[in-house]
Structure 1
Amino acid sequence: MFHYLYITRSPEVAAFVEQAGVTRLFVDLEIHGKVDRQGHLNTVISRHTMEDVTRVKSVLGVADLLVRLNPLHPGSRQEVDDAIEAGADIIMQPMFHTVEEVAEFGRYIDGRVRFMPLVETASALNQIGSISALNCVDEIHIGLNDLHLDLGLEFMFEPVASGLIEQSIETVSKPFGFGGVARVGQGDVPGELVMAEHVRLGSTGVILSRAFHAGADTVEALNDGFSFREELKKLMSERETLLSMDTDSLNAKHLEFQAGVKKILSKKL
């Protein structure tokens, strides 16, 4: 199954996007160090709370609730316990550098819910095979935003275009997803070309990015100037078309993707 993830603290938005086809709601509790890493960028730094976990969980039917906690710190065990009690189905660990950090986080979870480490540092990417092999790990997501910064690159899709992600996932033994996606025909790199990379590489999940939902934080905003439901349906349809393509056709899409990334980089020089 391929998962579409949506980050929100709003129960109303969560219920609406689940009905539209989102399979994982994402409450983001990470704050430690995030302003230092991303404060200079045009990114959203969430201010979600543990109470939001409970509120979002209360409206969900079949969708999973994913909760991103802080990086490993002295209070991590309590944060894990609190998130599970609040209703998390999946816990995400961000900003780690070693296999040992992931193993420790996994011991805190102790199999009570699913565990998804977020690979977003160069050292973590170098060890992704060993991380995925841990018994406590159920799946992996590769976070392109912080990863490209840690690698000293200019654009978040560079690690995909360069083949770095493709090379790294050869050692991965668990389901994995990566990055975010814009709408079909929209975004710095159009959503359909990003989705083609997910199909080509065998990904199992993507975050619906701010470029997809225009930063909407209400149901009204998700229907203001565009239809979230129709845009998600369009992306799903594009994915079905891509799944029917042969290897040569997907490789041709990959060349288009690389050209799109190269065009963005040329503007940054």
Structure 2
Amino acid sequence: MTDAIEWMLITANPELARHAEASGVHRIFIDMEVNGKAERQGHLDTHKAAHTFDDISAVRSVLTSSELMVRVNPLHGETRREVDEALARGADRLMLPMFTTVDEVAAFRGLVPAGTPITYLAETPQALVRTEAWMRHLRLGDEVHYGLNDLSIAMGLDFLFEPLAADLLSEPARLLKAAGIPFGIGGIARPAGGELPASVVLGEHVRLGSSRLILSRAFHGSAKTVRELRARLDLPAEIAELRNIEERWRTGSADALAKNQRVLAGHCFRLAEARRNAA
């Protein structure tokens, strides 16, 4: 049985991070990736942070139970310095984005102390296709997250959930589950919002065995303070509703999950077609 889904939230705001922790968020996500991101995603309304080492220190100082994960830049000449500084500032876990080869996975693992877990962000077609080859380099505590933004861009798709609609992650999911490696996929909108219903997305996560999800920006709405956030939404209640939906899927049948995959595919391909026609 797959573990219950753990929620992640991207923020460098210590006040919001502390509130997220108290609301049931398992992992706070500091995003320092800047190399190449503007070129890849500059035309899209996607998350584009420019968090700093000082942000790591600030968020570290307020967390008591949630894990602090830092996404560094794709492997480059300064990676060792980034790794060392992020860990010195208090990162519990590091994330490697935009890798394509087994050699990159092995090289990054070699730069990170053995006791520090890594999340490998598989968001290129090469990383997706080569999962079985590079997953052999993962150690105890390491995880995989399939990123849908850059993956869909690289594949020339019109909607970021199209890889799920085409069921491209079933085989990688099977391989990772067989090896006992936890994995997650993309992000999720609020229960009552988003182009693709959160209930449909959660059903597919349960079917695939995913146990990690990034909460979208809608869960904080770019609020600067907890007071401002509370005026917009009840974060503990939103997370509790996601959990309720997840549990309903877990008590359902395999046939219901298979039907939900078809529903997801229909939603995704209609949205993709609408975007193509509007372009």
Which one-letter code corresponds to 2:32 in the other structure? L
Partner of 1:13: 16
2:28 maps to which of 25, 28, 47: 25
Task: Find the counterpart in structure 2 of residue 130 from structure 1.
Answer: 133
Give the Cα–Cα distance (whole angstroms) in 2 for the partners of residues 39 and 218 of structure 1. 27
Q: TM-score, normalised by structure 1?
A: 0.96
- How big is the shift at 1:249? 1.3
- TM-score when normalising by structure 2: 0.92
Counterpart pick for 2:87 among 84, 88, 97: 84
The CA deviation at 1:81 is 0.7
The equivalent of 2:188 in structure 1 is: 181
Q: Which moved more, 1:52-61 or 1:12-21?
A: 52-61
Of 139, 146, 150, 1:146 maps to: 150
How much does 1:188 deviate?
0.9
**Unaligned stretches of 5+ residues in structure 2:** none
- Residue 112 of structure 1 is matched in structure 2 by 115
Partner of 1:169: 173
Distance 2:169 2:92 in 1: 27
Counterpart for residue 202 of structure 1: 209
Answer whether contact 2:144 2:184 (CA < 8 A) is retained.
yes
Verify the 8 A CA contact 1:181 1:211 in the aligned structure 2.
no
Equivalent position of 2:160 in the other structure: 156
Match 2:225 to one of 218, 224, 238: 218
1:75 equivalent in structure 2? 78
- Residue 253 of structure 2 corresponds to 246
Aligned to 2:59: 56
Aligned-residue RMSD, C-alpha = 1.4
Query: Would the alpha carbon gap of residues 166 and 217 (structure 1) be closer, same or farther in structure 2, given more than 3 Å must change?
Result: farther
SS of structure 1 residue aligned to 2:226: coil
Runs of 4+ deviating beyond 2 Å = 167-173, 211-218
SS of 1:140 mapped into structure 2:
strand
The one-letter code sitting in structure 2 at the alignment partner of 1:99 is V
Count matched residues. 269
Aligned to 1:236: 243
Q: Deviations over 1:3-57 (max 9, x none)?
A: 1000000110000011000000000010011111111111131011011111111
Distance 1:257 1:231, change over 3 A: same
Map 1:31-46 onto structure 2 (within 5 A).
31-46=34-49
**Identity percentage over the alignment?**
39
Decide whether the 8 Å contact of 1:11 with 1:56 is kept in 2.
yes
Q: 1:252 to 1:90 in 2, by over 3 A?
A: same
| Residue 200 of structure 2, aligned match among 193, 196, 199 | 193
